[in-house]
Structure 1
């Protein structure tokens, strides 16, 4: 492994730690995540189906922007 790979692993770990702290301390304020318009939810008597498509699209856009920012800074 190169030192560049090590740097990216450290960055990924820091990001995961920050996200964990956000969910731990402010999780009750994030109840809207997963309940956005466009998220598919089907609930029947013995069946539940949940597909958070809008939430996944927004998360994908945010991750894409963060990756582009890191590439632009290097």
Structure 2
């Protein structure tokens, strides 16, 4: 359990340090992401981005657990 928490903490720190470069990736603006814009209302649901991130994280976790 301790190793897992340390690993999660290191990953969060790494993402925080790399955020300026990660923000430039086209994630969140993929085809299939739902965007509804009205006069006083904006709704954004990144379904395609969530599926892509889920597949990548599942593959990485599967590789690390082997």
Report if TM-score (shorter chain) is over 0.5.
yes
Question: Unaligned stretches of 5+ in structure 2?
Answer: none
TM-score when scaled to structure 2? 0.88
Query: Whose radius of gyration is greater, 1 or 2?
Result: 1
TM-score when scaled to structure 1? 0.80
Q: Which has the higher contact order (CA 8 A, sep 6+)?
A: 2
* Count of matched residue pairs: 66
TM-align CA RMSD:
1.3
Which structure has more helix as a fraction of its residues?
1
Aligned with 1:49: secondary structure?
strand
